[in-house]
Structure formats: structure tokens, C-alpha cells
Amino acid sequence: QRKPDKKQICATAEEEEDEMSESGTQLFARLDARRCLKDIVLSMYYNDDN
């Protein structure tokens, strides 16, 4: 019996999580917003002009 590879395991876990909480689209939107916010905060503190 072959073991499932990590991608298959992760995909299954993500699908179960999506059904319980949020859709993939919502997840990506949330992560993208978080990434943008992080960029803004970093640019505030690490601006080369200061």
C-alpha cells in the first residue's frame, strides 16, 4: 500500500477546514489583506527617507 504524498494530505486537510470555516476565496482574501497590512507597517517603520 502506497503512502499518500504530503500534497494529498494537505489538500484533504484544507478541504475539510474550508467546509468547517471559510471558503478558499475567503482564505486567500484574508491572507492577502494581512500581507498588504504587513507591508504598510514595515514601510512605516523602515522607510529609507527617515
Task: Please provide the average confidence, as pLDDT, over all residues in the chain.
Answer: 69
pLDDT over threshold 70, residue 44: yes
pTM for the whole structure:
0.36
Domain residue limits, the chain:
23-50
pLDDT tens readout for residues 14-32: 555 555 567 888 888 888 8
Cβ neighbours of residue 22 closer than 8 Å, sequence gap 6 or more? 30
**Percentage of the chain exceeding pLDDT 70:** 50
Determine the pLDDT at residue 7: 54
Nearest CA to 32 out of 18, 5, 40, 13 is that of 40
